[in-house]
Structure formats: structure tokens, C-alpha cells
A and B are shown apart, each in its own frame.
Chain A
Amino acid sequence: MKKTLISICAAGLLLTAGCKKDSEFLDVQSPQVLTNEQAFSEPAQVLSIMADLYNRQVDFSGLDNGWESFADFSESFPSANGNTNIVQRNEWNFTDWSIWDYNYIRDLNLFIERATVAKALSNADKTRFLAEARFLRANFYFETAKRMGGVPLILESLLYNSSGDPSYLQYPRAKESEIYDFVINEAEAIKGSLPINANEKSRATKGAVLAMEARAALYAGSIAKYGGNTPQVSLPGQEVGIPASMANGYYTKALNAAKEIINGSAGTYSLYNKKPDLGENFASIFLDKSGNTESIWVEDFKLKSGKVHGFTVATQPRYGAEEEEGGRINPSLNLVESFEKLDNTFAPIAVTDAGGNPIYYNNLSDVFAGRDARLYGTVILPGSTFKDRRVDIWAGYKLADGTIVTGDDRGAQKKLPGQTNSTQVVGFDGPVNSKEFTAQSGFYLRKYVDPTPGAGSRGTNSEVPFIRYRYAEVLLNAAEAAFELGQKGDAATYMNQVRARAGLTTPLTAADITFDRIVHERRVELAFEGHIFYDLKRWRLAHVVWDGNKMTPADLVSNIGAATKRNTQPYGLWSYKLYDPASANNGKWSFQIVLPSLVTGSNRFRLGNYYSAINNDIIANNPRIVRQPNQ
């Protein structure tokens, strides 16, 4: 009886306890998902959301999106067996470099909408977060416009109403100029809401916003001005192409934005000048993380945090590397020879004298002497050092009769004539044709390659930041904008600052500043920073420089410094030591211009490559999207 009573009581309890309303019963707060209100409840929480949005920015060449993104365009040779297609294909696909990330844009729009209505944030925090998100959105639209031209400009989160008719969500492409106008106007609108702090590198600052504005306006100006050279690269609705009449307006905006950084109103930025050796100094711009006054906005990395990159693992000199790999980027002779001599003239690397006889040098590095210090800072030359250790780049011995003795492996040994013992006949860094990781062009990359111990090992990696905007580029942007506006004197002043830092102390005069000078200066200063591709596109020079014709050695050494110089195949420079005990030149070095044997293709940039293809699925889903021209 007692038992029955207890059972009944228990059952009753169960029933009454179970008798919640159904809606209440199911309405449980998920322990894994934050509501908007919770997510925007305190600054640290919002910052972590912001960090994700920062992480999703896209760079053309990024230290964490593959070394290949640095290796194209005949500026370098890819010394990795899996990537030889870079120098074996004859053209780029229309879909290359295509980008269409409206998920990211939606997340940015949602962030802006939610942060705007957040109640718990202080006004100061809210203002800064909103400005940062708008900066990221503008910078991403800028990156998209560089590749795709005008795209739908979506500035609010869109919601499908499940009505079966999604046509109200189909936005047409904006004009190309409208995207650039948006970027410029956003920059003007938010620059006052961001901190003025030259030491803040990884988050948006006034300096970063102005640098973006200057670059965007300059791009728009040059597309307007030089678009006339390729009238086919345009669309009737101006989704691609900007009218020439708008050029001066954009150049003026670019110059003003750059001036605002230069005059210090966005923080005290200056050219990096810490080291007495100018070449070392230039290399340090990209390595120094403490008090670097030159970088304006970077993608930062931190050891042991999970956000590190293996760029040094991929590109460190192979001899003495911390892993059994490295050396993948071999800068081409095309680039190396374009670094000026200290008297501001262009000259090929002196390999032969006027009579066609080889010139013999005492030291390997002598042949590069007396040039722009940026050459040393960008490229590891034969005979120079990395991590205080001499790189071992030399191609072999040359005998008195011109025969070459070399090996097909790193540091191979062979007997020289008249000797009894084998001796090393090729460098441990090569160059050996088709031997990956050796310096197949005769050079290794120095820019961004981190000499810190451990940076070249897979378990540690590197924390060197990728510089997205830096002061020298701002100066060059100012120089170009001033030049295009006819203010050549100002252009010379801006450019000479950058050049003086590289050891080119004889200033250029206003009369020296030509379009070719502007093109050249950006190529050597900003090599391997993801600029050459966008620069040649906006000047409409890409189809001229990468015209698909093969290069001869005669092409290579002529017209250095000309903006329209063909650059379709990466050449190399190989060094040979003379073995001729009877000769006064015995043991001295001669050089030979070679085309690495893997190079069989020649780069051809077709008119349809100027703006990357929009995927057919996107067009099928939204018939209002017009196709890119010439594809």
C-alpha cells in the first residue's frame, strides 16, 4: 500500500513537472551559440569577431597564401618540380585571380548592422569598431575591383523572403568608377574615427585608411587615363573602364590623401633607416617588427600562436636550410638587371666586354657592384650571405678551351684535368637545371625571407608580417599622382626620398621624371609585394610586356628601364670559375646569361585577362550580371 502511494506520488510529480508549455519546453538557450546581444556585449568579445573579419582579407601575394603567388610574371623562376607550369604555360586562364566572396561582404555588413544597434558598447568602442569594419569592407571591394572591375555594390545584409521569386536580390554590376568612388568616399568618411597611431600596425588606423585611399584613387586615375590604349577592354555600361575625363579628379584625390600621410597628420611615418648598410637596411624593412616606422598596415603573425607562416621554409637558401627544402623563388635576371647603377643609368650586368670576350671578376659579387642597394635587399646574390653564411651558388668550372665541368647534383664532385683528387664542381645551392630548390636562375629571394633561427623549420615557422601598405609606396603613389598632374618637381621630390634610401643619392630633376621612371621605380621598390600585376594592368601595359613572344638574350639586355620592355621568360645568370693554371685569370669568375632549361613557355597576357572571368553559375543565377570583355 505504502509502495503504491509512493509510486503514484512519483508519477504525479513527473507529470506535473513535465507539463510545461511546448513552446517554452523547446525554447532553450543554446550553450554554443551567442545571441547578437551577447556577442556585442563587451569590447573583447567584439574584437574577437573583428579578428575573424581581419583574417579574411585577401592579398594578391600573401605570406600565408602560398609562395607561388610571388613567383609568377617572369620576375622569378619557380624552383620546385610541382610548379614548373608557371614557366611552361603560354598564357593565363581567364578565370585566374577571380574573386567573388559575397559571404565575407555579408558578414561585414551584418557586423556593421549589429554593432550599430548594440546597446552595451561604449560610444568610443562602437565608433572604432564600425570604422574598422567599413575599412575592411572598402579594402575588400577595392581588392575585388582590381580583379573583376565593377561588381554589385552590396552595403546591407540581404534576406530571401522565400517567396519563390529571388529577382529582387539580383543586383547588377556597379560601374568600375562607382566602386573606386565608394572606396574613396568611405575612406574620407571614416578616417576621423580611427586612431592616429603609427605604432598600431595590424588594426586599421587613419594612416591605413589614407594609404588605401591614395592607392585606390591612383588606380582609378590610371585606369581612366590609360584605358584609352586598350579601347576593347571596356563594357558599354562602364562596368569595366573609366572615362578619361575622370582621370585628373582621381589623381588629385590620390595626391591629397598621400600628402595627408606625408605631412604627418596621420601619425609619424617615415622611411625605415636604422642600419648603416643600405642593402641590409632595405631587407630589414620586411623583417623588423619593433618600432618599424615604415609599415602602415600589415597582416601580422605571432610565433606559438597558431598564426605563423612557412614562407621562409619554402624560400630559404637550400644550403644550410633548416629543412630539406627551400629556395623555391629564384628572382630572374630580368629583374636583377633592372636595378639601376648608382649614377641613375641603366645597364645590363656586364658579362662580356665590347669585343664579346668574357669579363673575369675576382669575386662573385663584383659583377653586381655599384648598383641600387635594393638589389642586395631584394635578392640573395651569388657571393653574398644569408644568416652570416655565404650562399654557395656557382655553376661550375670553365676550362681554358671553354669546356664546362659541372655536376648534376648539389655540390657534385669531379676530377679537373691534371688533378688526381675529385673536387667540388658546382655549388651546394646549384644552379643545376631541373634540380628543385637550387638557384636555377642563379639567385635566391631575400625579401621577406626570415633569418631568425627556426623560421625555416616547419615546426616553428616565421612571424614576419606581410606589409600591405608602407610609407615608401605612399611616396611613390604621391610621385605618380603629382607626375600625372604635371607637377614634376613635386614628383621628383617624393621619388628622390625613396631613391636616396636605396643609395641613389644623385637626385632626379623634374625633367628626369618620365612615365618610364615611375614604372621602373615601382617595379624595383615593390618587387615581390604583389604590385607588378596590378600596376601593369592599370597602366594597360600587361598585354605589351607579357605579349607571348619568346625573349632572346638580345631582347633581355636592351631597353632596360623601358616601361614597354618585353618580359615573358625568366632568364638566369650563371657563374663559372676559370680553371686554367697557365692563365692570369685562373680562379676568377665569368658569367653567362642562360634561360633555365625548364622554361619552355612564354607569358601571354590576353586582353581577356585584364578582368578575371565571372563564373557562369553566378551569371546563371543573376542574369543582370554582364560578362567580362574579350573572353
Chain B
Amino acid sequence: MKIFISYILLVTIIIMTGCRKDNYDGPTVKLSGHIVYKGTPVEVEYNQVKFELYQDGFGKTGPMASTFQPDGSYELLLFNGDYKFIIPNGQGPFKWKQTTAGAPDTTIIQVKGSQEFDIEVTPYYMVRNVQLTASGGKVMGKFSLEKIITDASARDIENVSLYINKTQFVSGADNVASESIKGSDITDLNNVNLSVTVPTANTTQGYVFARIGVKIAGVEDRIFSAVTKISL
């Protein structure tokens, strides 16, 4: 019995001391920020717009990939060092600078202690002056659309949708109801109106979340307005 106990003690000591010796501290330096256009956050769909961070010098080259939050923010825990940041081609409803060869160009980020780092991009459109209101079992959206890119690479609007959902995740995939208007049916970009009926099954909650998503022709990701909580 004594021997048994001493074995247990021995094993415990080995395990406890082993834990301290083997492990490194986790990363603690926080790098965070938004994708912005002239200071305004660019709103996107949850878990869809990807960015990649690379750090050279450790043998294997591979991206640390993650996605932006719906409000365009990102947050990473890192070690101090030099990182390369890119948004891969085809990601996001905006233009990211490219090299002459057509590859996404790199932004170098030096991480020395926690910092905010905003990523400047050029969206094709921005949703402006959003007024979302509820009345009579409907959610009404009134907003204007600003065409940002007007040069040769300008793109048309394919359609604009107003989404509502019971949770803060509001998009084409996550919604309880939506209403769309085709880009070709929009007569005045400065005055677009959409309204969507709230399904009766969802009215007991007392509020819904709404946002407007713009599908740009030939671009996969929509650009959104900010998620708004609306009391019914």
C-alpha cells in the first residue's frame, strides 16, 4: 500500500513538472482592426470573406487563414514578428490591390505589442443612409447606393435584398424572410425602397435583425449594411 501511494506520488510529480517544462506560452499579442473604405467599415457576410496571414522563416509555408466578422472586423492573437497580410483573389465585394501579375499584393504588418490595423479596400458600392423601420408586420428599408468604382472595372448591381433574421447573423443563407429587387429595376440609386413581411411565426420574439445586401454582377460576396435590431 505504501509503495502504491509512493508510485502515485511519483507519477503525479512527473506529470506536474512535465507540464511546466514542455509547454510554451500561447500567443498574447492582439492584432485587430476592420476592413474600411475611407474610415467606414465595410460590412460583409459572416464567415465568407477570407484573409490570409503568412509568416516566413519557419520551414513550411502556409497561410493562417481566417474570415472577417459581419461588421468587417477581425481579431488575431499572434506572437511579435513580421507578417504578410493578403486578401485572396475573388474574396470580398471590393477591390484589393494587386501586383502587375494579377496576384493579390502583400501588406506587411509588423507586430510589436497589441495594435489596431485597419485594412483599406475599395468596394464597388457602398450602402448609405440606411433607414430600417418596422410597422404593420413589415420591415421597411430605405437607403441609397453609392457607386464607388466608376472606371473601366466598374460593375453593375445584380440585385439588392433586404434580409431579416431572428439572430444577428443575417444574410442570404441565414434569414427568415427576404425581399429582392433586380439591379435593372432600380431607377434611382439615391432612393431605393424594399419591404419584407415578417413571418407570423417569428413575431413573438418582439424584434428582428435586418440588413441590406447588394449583389454585384460577377462578384461572389455581397456588400451589406450594418446589422440593425428592429423592435416590432
User: Chain A residues in contact with chain B, CB under 8 A?
Assistant: 90-91, 231-232, 236, 543, 547-550, 601-602, 604, 606-608, 616-617, 619-620, 623, 627, 629-631
Contacts and interface: CB of A to CB of B under 8 A. Distances in A.
Contacts of A90: 173-174
A630 B220 contact: yes
Nearest to A608: B90
Contacts of A629: 89-90
Contacts of B60: 616-617, 620
A630 B221 CA distance: 11
B173 A607 contact: no
A232 B91 contact: no
**Most chain B CB within a 10 A radius of its CB, from A91, A623, A630:** A630
Contacts of B123: none
B175 interface: yes
Contact of A623 (B61, B172, B218): B61
A232 B175 contact: no
- List the 8 closest pairs (A to B, CB-CB), nearest first: A630-B90, A90-B173, A616-B62, A620-B60, A548-B173, A607-B220, A232-B90, A548-B172
B91 A630 contact: yes
A1 to B, nearest CB: 58
Contacts of A631: 50, 88, 90
Nearest to A630: B90
Given A604-B173, A607-B220, A627-B88, 6 more contacts: A547-B172, A616-B60, A616-B62, A617-B60, A617-B62, A631-B88
Interface in B67-114: 88-91, 101-102
Nearest to A550: B175
A606 B61 CA distance: 26
B218 A231 contact: yes
Interface in B201-223: 218, 220
The prevalent SS among residues of A at the interface is loop
A236 B90 CA distance: 13
Contacts of A606: 48, 220
A29 B90 CA distance: 58
A627 B63 CA distance: 11
A543 to B, nearest CB: 8
11 contacts: A91-B173, A231-B218, A232-B220, A543-B220, A602-B173, A604-B173, A606-B220, A617-B60, A620-B60, A630-B91, A631-B88
A608 B50 CA distance: 11
Contact of A616 (B63, B102, B175, B218): B63
A318 B172 CA distance: 36
Nearest to A620: B60
Contacts of A616: 60, 62-63
Nearest to B101: A236
A601 B172 CA distance: 11
Interface string B172-189: 111100100000000000
Contact of A630 (B62, B89, B101): B89
A548 B174 CA distance: 9
Contacts of A232: 89-90, 218, 220
A629 B90 CA distance: 7
